[in-house]
Amino acid sequence: MLGLKGLVETETQLVYLTATLRPSDEAEFGRLVGLPREGVRWFRGTTTRRNVQYQIRRYKTEEESEEDALAALAEEKKQKYGKQGQIIVYCDTVKKAVQYAKMLEGLCYHRGVGSQEEKKAIVRQLTEGRHQVFTATNALGLGVDAPTIRVVIHVGTVRRLRDYAQESGRAGRDREKSEAIILKPIRYQGRGRKQRRAVEETAEQAEMRGIERAMWEFLETAGCVRVVLDREMDGRTDRKGCEDGDERCYRCEAAAPVAMETVRQKQKWREEEDRRLVEILDEQETEGQGMSPDLRADVEVKTYRTRARRRKHGWDVRIEQSEEALEVERFKEILEEWATGCMWCRATGEEKRVYSGHRLEECMEEDSGVVRQTVERVRRKIRWEKYSGCFDCGIPQGICKRYRAKVDGGYERVQGGSCQFLGVLIESVVSMWGANSSEAEVFFQERMRQRGVEWDGLDEGELVKWMGRKVRWGGFESNEMCRAMVGLYKVHNKN
């Protein structure tokens, strides 16, 4: 995507294809690639898969554990689809993915499972249908196209609807009937059998756990779940429920008898998709209608040099802006990733301890005390330049939830707002720095030299002072520490 922003200036037709882009994210996508609002046409297919039956399978925590509920569900689907029907179990932690892979006698895929070649080997066993059950974290994402996946199961916390839409979309790529199931616990409160009652989580409670409102609605809606998916992912607001040709979701199936899908309905679906594709192609060709090939070539030759000169001026600037915008998006992803668990255990590769429930301040691993002391020194020494970020967490005000954009520009504090990544920036930077000390020192020296600062690798105060400097980064006012975090993350992952 690095060159996409510059391509807009070529004044030629461009087609952007993306797997899951919500209507609410269109403006942000346009900002990233430099698309002008005028002259842009959006074409959308459906995110929901008509051959996939969406289900929420609830289990009572008083009667069975998540592990037992998953084991029973997986065995049920194994019997239903046989060895040719593959099952993916998405887990919210690496620990669960590893544990459930052993329990289900499956293969496990996560970010730290091995080298790139080892990861590719696992994916090949999935795409070639050589193993039946796989467990995975969200590291198993785009680019996986296995035609015989019949069931996708999610266990644990599912936070974002767009992630769920993408991951559940692994099922039924061959257009045969498949299932996407979320395993959800029913929790109880009150003492005594008569006073015990099931408790449903409110949207506000879910948001406090990092679950977006759209995902909460998908989980808790009393109506058709396709209504929520279509509205949030595709902007469709006229759906009332599952329609002819859809595998009915668990809500619609409970409300009415399941309609048998006929061959004619399947054919109608395929013809509808083919017709939509033809319409898209026709729209793309409309601009060139009536222009002969010779005339088109003549026009292109005459304007080529002018366009080239105009592109040359500022091309490097546009590329840099595009790279920065992508860096900011990567920065957000890294914050999300490192916000959970102990930073030091994550930095040192102690995956089994990352999600054990402790934070850095409670960590007992080797050198964790040194890391805590360094974190405290950095917190005392850092001086964020004005407008370089939130003074509490260091994150750009355009990202931190303690701030909101003002109509006339800039940001203002939100009454009662709080930093969603409090402590994450400094703790993660110090942890990655400590786990990769030699490489990190070289990285900081090169980065500071690019900014006109010479650092001997010894004066910690000089480094911390530089980290607090204000920079303009990807459309945000930020600081050097935020930007350095992305580069330091790359250094960390190479080791």
Q: Which of 118-132, 244-258, 354-368, 423-437 has the lowest mean pLDDT?
A: 244-258
What pLDDT, on the 0 to 100 scale, is given for residue 143? Answer: 61
pLDDT for 295 beyond 50: no
pLDDT tens for each residue of 311-351: 444 445 455 566 777 788 889 889 988 888 888 988 987 66
pLDDT for 4 beyond 90: no
* Mean pLDDT value across residues 453-478: 90
Q: Residue 191: is it exposed, middle or buried by C-beta count within 10 angstroms (0-12/13-18/19+)?
A: exposed
pLDDT for 360 beyond 70: yes
What pLDDT, on the 0 to 100 scale, is given for residue 40? Answer: 80
Cβ contact 6:322 at 8 Å? yes
What pLDDT, on the 0 to 100 scale, is given for residue 299? Answer: 41
What pLDDT, on the 0 to 100 scale, is given for residue 219? Answer: 93
What pLDDT, on the 0 to 100 scale, is given for residue 304? Answer: 47
More confidently predicted of 356 and 219: 219
Which domains does the chain show, CATH number per domain? Answer: 52-261 (3.40.50.300), 318-494 (no CATH)
What pLDDT, on the 0 to 100 scale, is given for residue 313? Answer: 44
Average pLDDT over the chain, rounded to an integer: 81
pLDDT for 469 beyond 50: yes
- Band (pLDDT 50/70/90 cuts) for residue 271 is low
* Mean pLDDT value across residues 398-408: 83
What pLDDT, on the 0 to 100 scale, is given for residue 116? Answer: 87
More confidently predicted of 321 and 49: 49
Out of 183-197, 244-258, 418-432, the most confident range is 418-432
* Mean pLDDT value across residues 282-287: 54
Cβ neighbours, 10 Å, residue 355: 17
More confidently predicted of 222 and 165: 165
CA end-to-end span of the chain: 26
Amino acid at 8: V
- Band (pLDDT 50/70/90 cuts) for residue 473 is confident
What pLDDT, on the 0 to 100 scale, is given for residue 487? Answer: 92
pLDDT tens for each residue of 146-200: 889 999 999 999 999 999 999 999 999 888 999 999 999 987 766 555 455 666 7
The token pair at 409 is: 């520009």
- Band (pLDDT 50/70/90 cuts) for residue 249 is very high
What pLDDT, on the 0 to 100 scale, is given for residue 296? Answer: 46
What pLDDT, on the 0 to 100 scale, is given for residue 203? Answer: 85
Supply the Cα-derived Rg of the chain in whole angstroms: 26
Q: Which residues contact 6 (CB under 8 A, 6 or more apart)?
A: 34, 311, 315, 318, 319, 322
What pLDDT, on the 0 to 100 scale, is given for residue 495? Answer: 66
More confidently predicted of 334 and 142: 334
